[in-house]
Structure 1
Amino acid sequence: MSGWVQLKGVDLHYGPVPALRGIDLRIAGGERVALIGANGCGKSTLLRVLHGLLRPNAGTVLRDRAMRQAMVFQRPFALRATALTNVALGLWLRGKRWRDAKEEALLALGRVGLGGQSLRNARTLSGGQLQRLAMARAWALQPHVLLLDEPTASLDPHAKREVETLMADFAASGMTLVFASHNLGQVKRLATRVVYMEQGRVLADLPVQQFFGGPLGETSREAELFVKGELG
């Protein structure tokens, strides 16, 4: 898989409140980029800008025109329908015949270990199963880039491991991952690059070994405190 996306001088405001300020960021195909920082630092907003859900007030967003992307939210929405229908609908909306969409949806559910739950009402699934359902919906679209917003927040340890395994498998296939996380262990396990944010700005953008190996320098003092658990 391939695809790239680049932000140049991106600012975004929620009314008078700045959410992103002067973001310069380029993500290349095959990278595994973790966005970290305290609550409210702009991680979720940045993901939504990358996905095209939010339009910046200033700056530009450039991307490979041939690139396909998908996003998994922290609290995925499920239709009051079977797990199979929840996945197939996205494919049908992309122009697939319904019969073909259902066949591909069943493959996607099998890919995330939910093949046996295909006819179950999606709203009766556990939190971990619902997150894997969201990942099946995303994987079924065969994206080059997968954006994930706190994909394992509020999940029990077993469910977290299942989601992390899927993320690692997707990355191994060549898919680009950009994910927000508060779990620094998860970041160390899955990321190749760490972007630390504070008050809507990127204060550090480093390979994962360098970020956690420190020191990060005077301009990244906040990042060092965050890693030490003194900010959060």
Structure 2
Amino acid sequence: MQAITAGLVLSEVDCQSVSGATLTVAPGEVVGLSGASGAGKTRLLRAVADLDAHGGNIRLDGCDQQSAPAHAWRRRVTLLPAEAAWWYPRVGDHFPEAPAATDLQALNLPPDLPQWPVTRLSSGERQRAALLRALAHGPDALLLDEPTANLDAATTLRVEAWLLRRIRADALPTLWVAHDLAQIARVASRHLRVRDGRLEVVA
């Protein structure tokens, strides 16, 4: 009987811009992904989230992506894009329940944020609220595409600390795309670069 590997496992994944992507992300581990614009980082995340067609095999805690209904897979494997969409007029309508006051405080968001109209959010508030929303739905793995791109340096550090606490507490295998190599050094246990259509290890 084949042993089940915990975490997120990619085996020879081919998408539009990347070929033969193979890696295992353990529960609670952050793997940083870098690469030039257009190299294929976002395409790879979308393949893992089952949003784009791809070859190869992707598994989460032994569950094969191809055997899971797409909506069920996407509930378990949450992709936070660089520009998250908002569907309802009020922030709180996007959450299954009111965010914890401790999380709002940790992200430097106001306690009455759920009552705000989405149009009131600044770009930085929108990004932090999207992170909070992504975690509120209880994913089993996280795919983060430039999650702090619109934030100042102090807020970035604050968000990193909050995210790392949640990732470790919830044992979430996480792929974190960033252009900021210093950020990858702070948050990730491993650093992979997408170059010439392949994943390569950065020492």
Give CA-to-partner distance per residue, 1:127-183, whole Å, 9 cap, x none: 121111111211111222111001111322233233222212212313322110011
Paired with 1:135 and 1:41, the residues of 2 have a C-alpha distance of 24
Distance apart, 1:110 and its partner CA: 5.3
TM-score normalised to the size of structure 1? 0.71
Residue 20 (structure 2) aligned to one of 19, 22, 29 = 22
Residue 33 (structure 1) aligned to one of 26, 31, 34 = 31
Give CA-to-partner distance per residue, 1:109-135, whole Å, 9 cap, x none: 752334321111112201121111111
Say which SS state the counterpart of residue 21 (structure 1) adopts: coil
Say which SS state the counterpart of residue 152 (structure 1) adopts: coil
Q: Which amino acid aligns with 1:60?
A: N
Instruction: Find the counterpart in structure 1 of residue 49 from structure 2.
Output: 51
Residue 128 (structure 1) aligned to one of 111, 124, 129 = 124
Residue 70 (structure 1) aligned to one of 71, 78, 84 = 78
Distance apart, 1:23 and its partner CA: 1.3
Say which SS state the counterpart of residue 188 (structure 1) adopts: helix
User: Which runs of 5 or more residues in structure 2 are unaligned?
Assistant: 65-72
Distance 1:78 1:123, change over 3 A: farther
Distance 1:123 1:41, change over 3 A: same
More deviation in 118-127 or 169-178? 169-178
TM-score normalised to the size of structure 2? 0.80
Paired with 1:108 and 1:145, the residues of 2 have a C-alpha distance of 21
Instruction: Find the counterpart in structure 1 of residue 156 from structure 2.
Output: 160
Quote the RMSD (CA, aligned, Å).
2.2
Q: Which amino acid aligns with 1:176?
A: P
Instruction: Find the counterpart in structure 1 of residue 8 from structure 2.
Output: 5
Distance apart, 1:108 and its partner CA: 4.8
Distance 1:147 1:50, change over 3 A: same
How many residues align? The count is 183
Which of 1 and 2 has greater Rg?
Answer: 1
Paired with 1:108 and 1:201, the residues of 2 have a C-alpha distance of 40
Paired with 1:138 and 1:154, the residues of 2 have a C-alpha distance of 17
Q: Is the 8 A contact 1:12 1:20 kept in 2?
A: yes
